Structure 1
């Protein structure tokens, strides 16, 4: 089992993107706005809750009981949604999404969540050595075991993936491309960082979801279902070296309030999550090998 601790991707790290940032006009200090108008400021979309006079800057207004908020923060712009730590806020673009990221730190792993397209290509390009890594992953996941399924079962697609074989470079750029052909490319979240080993995820690990839908039944037996989002969860059984227990405990303590990528087994998509651990415990089972259990809940 491994974790990827993300680096922050901001203006200094995002070298280029083919996704235009033209969702709404940029906020202008000299312009007054009417209720419902939206503007962009610092890659964030704001909506006017009331008629807003000129000079009232989104995100900096003083809110009191006598002076309620005039601006509502809606979320990141389309270009920046893929870096906002939310899996359901999608960056979309016709055909392809292609970004170049300069991490500015030693990284060796990339994870992507809620991806829509035909394939994902990740390249690492160093200023001196040129292209030092390139890998293309198809998102088509047929998952068939017989001829009947081959011809009649619907074709599945992968939505989450990790690439763990990048060389450890501190100065190289990453070029990440999602190709959807003639369709709409979409990405929920991209994580770039350095992976750390915890142990070996064992059979017995369980996965599931937390469903936030609401179901209610009245006195006459009529049921109403309000469908809402859901998040993934996993309960990992992990075998760890007893000599590494202190290091692992310290690592997990440091990650207690940090969303990271959790990888039970990279070939099993259901064991790849981006979120927080709810709790963990380590049992000193023997002088060489100990047992660890970690419960992880993904964010949405």
Structure 2
């Protein structure tokens, strides 16, 4: 079982700092014009904040001088639509997707060691990751086909069902270079639309062996209501992944693992129920502090509950 701690960020809303993004496709910014404090916005007019990288829609006419980033005072005047396109990769949620024709590519200079990368909400054909050190040059390169092979889907599904693709993945084993640049690239043929919900670079720690009999699922926030005549109204809502898993760990490491989870409390993390996160055990979200039972001097057991962020 692996815990990935995201690279530290000083940005209040994004998981990477502005200075860490060296190159991006699509480029940093938005299709909406930048917010101007002196402009009088009308109902439905949109604006983009280059400070927080969020897009907004005006909820009233005569909307002037009301900074949309000031949510404490002006949340009733602006609707937050979400992050700008490329920053949807780093907005600490998996439900809003960055999209672009043909490819999504981002080069990061985190300024810290990155030995693992998790991606969520992918809609692409191929993933490639390259690590380049300023002194030694390219020190790591990988490429992975995201289309499920025939051996996994079966002949019937291959011929008659929609193509199965890997939606989320955890890549570990990147070389530990603190000053390197990391390029993540998702591509699709024929300029098809490529999408991705979140990219999480960070450091991976093995925290134990996940045991079978774990629980995977999700929470659906869609709403359905019926009037007195039985007529229904349906409003689709968000969906969050859920993981409940027991793990076995050496007793001598119990205190260190307890401290590790305490250090990331209240912060989004990535948890893989087993090394590759297969079987739906790869979740990006918030973790309840685990309960560790010290069974004996050799091994202990703990329970972890994760709720995803969408």
TM-score, L = length of structure 1: 0.90
Which protein has the bigger strand share? 1
Tell me whether 1:275 sits opposite 2:285 in the alignment: yes
Tell me whether 1:207 sits opposite 2:238 in the alignment: no
Considering only aligned residues, what root-mean-square deviation do their CA atoms show, in Å?
2.4
Contact 1:52 1:70 in 2 (8 A): no
Tell me whether 1:3 sits opposite 2:3 in the alignment: yes
Contact 1:110 1:164 in 2 (8 A): yes
Write the distance in 1 (CA, Å) between the matches of 2:78 and 2:154: 57
Q: Which moved more, 1:208-217 or 1:240-249?
A: 208-217
Structure 2 partner of 1:183: 192
Secondary structure in 2 matching 1:276: strand
Distance 1:253 1:186, change over 3 A: same
Structure 1 residue 19 displacement after superposition: 0.8
Structure 1 partner of 2:114: 107
Tell me whether 1:144 sits opposite 2:152 in the alignment: yes
The runs of 5 or more residues in structure 2 that have no matched partner are: 10-15
* 1:3-152 equivalences in 2 (<5 Å): 3-7=3-7, 8=9, 9-20=16-27, 21-41=29-49, 42=51, 43-52=53-62, 55-60=65-70, 63=73, 69-142=76-149, 144=152, 146-152=154-160
Q: Matched residue pairs, number?
A: 297
Structure 1 residue 192 displacement after superposition: 0.6
Write the distance in 2 (CA, Å) between the matches of 1:6 and 1:292: 22
Deviations 1:145-170 (A, max 9, x none): 75445444443111100110101110
The runs of 5 or more residues in structure 1 that have no matched partner are: none
Q: Which structure is larger by alpha-carbon Rg, 1 or 2?
A: 1
TM-score, L = length of structure 2: 0.87
Contact 2:63 2:77 in 1 (8 A): no
